Amino acid sequence: MAWRSMGTNNEDLIRQLKEHGVIASDAVANAMIATDRKHYSPRNPYMDAPQPIGGGVTISAPHMHAFALEYLRDHLKPGAHVLDVGSGSGYLTACFYRYILTKGTHAETRIVGIEHQADLVRMSKANLNADDRTMLSTGNLEIVEGDGRKGFPSRAPYNAIHVGAAAPDTPTELINQLAKGGRLIVPVGPDGGTQYMQQYDKDSNGKVQMTQLMGVMYVPLTDLRS
C-alpha cells in the first residue's frame, strides 16, 4: 500500500498518515497523536503494519485504525455509546474516548472495549492506566471480558460499533445492537479468503444499508475454543 510508513515517533507517524490522505480530519489526527502507540504496541509501535501483542493476537496497522476513526467520527459524540469488538491492547478504544472528549463531556458517554482473552483484558487495562489513568476512572470507558461476536447487550444500543477481526458472514447480532442512526464497520469474509470492510448504517426507521468499503485481510473473529 502506498501509505505504508514508519514514524520516528507517534506524532511523526500520524503526520505521515495525514500527508498520505489516510487521515482526513484534524480531529482524528489529534486523537491519534494524543494516544501514543508505545503504550499499546510493545514492538515497532510506529511502524504502519500489524504487530503482535500476545495471545496470538495482533494490533492492527495504524492506517486501519485511522480509517475506522474517519468512518465512525460523525457518530462519536458526547453521550454516545460505542462498542469496540476485539479491543486487544486497548489502543483504538482509547482513541474513541479521546476523540469524543474533545467534543465535550457527558455523563452518559460509554466506550466499551470487549475482548475474550482474560490476559488481554488485564493487559489493556494496564496499558490504558499507563497512558492516562483517568480514562478508566471516569467510568466513561470500560474494558470487559466476553464473546464480542454477541456484542455487549447491557450497554446497547450503540451509536458506533467497530470490529477488529473478520466475521465469516453478516454480523446480525451486532446489527441488532446498533442504535437507529448508528453505524457499524466490520471486516467480513472467510479466514484466508476474500474479505471486505463493510459499513452497516441503520436509519431512523431501523432499515439497514450495507456499503462495501475496501478489500482487507484480517484474522477471524473467534472465541477461546476456536
Kindly list the catalytic residues.
60
Cell triple for residue 221? 473473529
Q: Which residues make Cβ contacts (< 8 Å) with residue 5, sequence separation at least 6?
A: 13, 16, 17, 20, 48
Peptide bond into 220 cis (omega under 30): no
Q: Give backbone dihedrals phi and psi of 59, rounded to 5 degrees, phi first.
A: -90, 135
Torsions phi, psi of 75, nearest 5?
A: -105, 0
- In the chain, which residue ranges form alpha helices assigned H by DSSP? 10-19, 26-34, 62-72, 91-103, 118-132, 134-137, 172-176
Is residue 154 a contact partner of residue 161, using CB atoms and an 8 Å limit? Answer: no
